[in-house]
């Protein structure tokens, strides 16, 4: 059999040419996404779990009519997806203040936002993925106003679905990031959810066990979900039996 062609290797995944035109194979690596200026370390089993988790969320979205690139999982680390022309943005949806929003605006971490807030970051590693406005996006031709309306609608539908699923397992979806891509059906272009939805793209806080005081009698505060890959996979019932441990997720800036 001929060796398949590698199309791209990023921090978290490798893309290979798919078996049919218009498809790609996404291979999920174990590498942790490094914080800025930090070396990346492998987290054993992370790729296997993110493959399962992204499958779980994307197939759930497909099932409620939110279009995604996910076609099917191929094996422990790979899934077949529709090839897209990526919009060079990271679309962030925030439900609770945390990370960069808290830093920039001085809003306490954990504070509920009056409504979900959508932000855009230009996906360019060398520039540090800078935050951009709709003005920049339209002026530089990364997307037009109609695309942006579609992207916001997609992002909010994903947010509703993801928030609900997480809530069902005692997890609060603080914020998450999405990448969207274009596919063509004849003359028509559609924007769909691409890349991955996993603990690497979501900031998750644990809401379980807050009622009971801890050993020192202190009331527990909500905080980041520990051992997030394994714990989330376990709560959602998608844990493959032979993967046991992993570590922290990367936070959205
Ligand atoms: P990066 O380090 O650039 O974030 P990743 O390791 O996350 O890379 O690899 C995924 C890459 O593939 C990203 O650049 C992402 O934009 C791109 N990608 C994700 N889904 C698709 C798709 N369906 N079609 C084409 N490219 C995609
Ligand atoms: Mg990525």
Residues 134-171 pLDDT 10s: 999 999 999 999 999 999 999 999 999 999 999 999 99
Instruction: Give the mutation target among 6, 36, 86, 90 for probing the ligand 1 site: most ligand atoms within 8 A of CB.
Output: 86
pLDDT band at 219 (very low <50, low <70, confident <90, very high): confident
Homologous superfamily (CATH) for 6-82:
Phosphorylase Kinase; domain 1 (3.30.200.20)
Q: Give me the mean pLDDT over the 101-121 stretch.
A: 98
User: What's the confidence (pLDDT) of residue 43?
Assistant: 86
User: What's the confidence (pLDDT) of residue 97?
Assistant: 98
Q: Give me the mean pLDDT over the 39-45 stretch.
A: 76
Residues in contact with 82: Cβ distance below 8 Å, sequence separation at least 6, in sequence order: 22, 23, 24, 69, 71, 183, 192
CATH number of the structural domain 85-206: 3.30.470.20
- The residue among 64, 35, 28, 16 whose CA lies nearest residue 162 is 64
- The b/e string for 96-132 (b: 16+ C-beta within 10 A; e otherwise) is bbbbbbeeeeeeeeeeeeeebebbbbbbeeeeebeeb
**Does the C-beta of 12 come closer than 6 Å to ligand 1?**
yes
Number of H helices, E strands in the chain: 5, 13
**Does the C-beta of 83 come closer than 6 Å to ligand 1?**
yes
In this predicted structure, which of 120-124, 146-150, 220-224 has the lowest mean pLDDT?
Answer: 220-224
pLDDT band at 38 (very low <50, low <70, confident <90, very high): low
Ligand number with the minimum distance to the CA of 28:
1
The answer to whether domain 6-82 and domain 85-206 are alike in fold is no
Can you tell me which atom of ligand 1 is nearest the CA of 83?
Answer: 24
Residues in contact with 54: Cβ distance below 8 Å, sequence separation at least 6, in sequence order: 28, 70, 79, 196, 197, 198
Q: Are 144 and 154 in contact (CB under 8 A)?
A: no
Q: Give me the mean pLDDT over the 103-110 stretch.
A: 97
Please tell me the distance from the alpha carbon of residue 146 to that of residue 182, in angstroms, as a whole number: 13
Distance 205 CA to ligand 1 centre (A): 26
Q: Are 223 and 176 in contact (CB under 8 A)?
A: no
CA distance between the termini of the chain = 43
Q: Which tokens in the block code for residue 45?
A: 């089993």
Q: Give me the mean pLDDT over the 44-55 stretch.
A: 96
Question: In this prediction, what percent of the chain has a pLDDT beyond 90?
Answer: 81
Please tell me the distance from the alpha carbon of residue 144 to that of residue 250, in angstroms, as a whole number: 30
Q: Where are the domains of the chain?
A: 6-82, 85-206
Whether residue 39 is predicted with pLDDT greater than 80 in this model: the reply is: no
**Does the C-beta of 197 come closer than 6 Å to ligand 1?**
no
Can you tell me which atom of ligand 1 is nearest the CA of 194?
Answer: 20
pLDDT band at 116 (very low <50, low <70, confident <90, very high): very high
Please tell me the distance from the alpha carbon of residue 43 to that of residue 226, in angstroms, as a whole number: 14
């Amino acid at each position: 059999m001929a060796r398949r062609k590698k199309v791209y290797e990023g921090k978290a995944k490798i893309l290979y040419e798919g078996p049919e035109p218009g498809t790609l194979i996404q291979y999920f690596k174990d590498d942790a996404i490094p914080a800025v200026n930090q070396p990346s370390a492998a987290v054993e089993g992370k790729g296997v779990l993110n493959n399962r988790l992204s499958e779980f969320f994307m197939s759930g979205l497909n099932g409620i009519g939110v279009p995604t690139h996910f076609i099917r999982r191929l094996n422990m680390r790979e899934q077949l997806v529709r090839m897209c022309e990526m919009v060079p943005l990271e679309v962030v949806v925030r439900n609770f203040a945390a990370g960069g929003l808290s830093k920039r605006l001085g809003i306490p971490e954990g504070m509920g936002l009056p409504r979900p807030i959508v932000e855009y970051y230009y996906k360019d590693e060398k520039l540090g993925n800078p935050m951009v406005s709709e003005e920049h996006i339209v002026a530089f031709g990364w997307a037009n106003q109609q695309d942006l309306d579609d992207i916001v609608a997609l992002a909010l539908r994903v947010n509703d679905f993801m928030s609900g699923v997480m809530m069902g397992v005692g997890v609060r979806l603080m914020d998450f990031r999405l990448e969207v891509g274009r596919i063509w059906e004849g003359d028509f272009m559609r924007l769909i959810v691409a890349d991955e939805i996993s603990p690497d793209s979501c900031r998750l806080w644990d809401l379980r066990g807050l009622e009971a005081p801890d050993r020192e009698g202190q009331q527990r505060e909500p905080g980041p979900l520990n051992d997030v890959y394994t714990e989330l996979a376990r709560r959602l019932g998608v844990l493959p039996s032979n993967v046991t441990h992993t570590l922290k997720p990367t936070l959205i800036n």
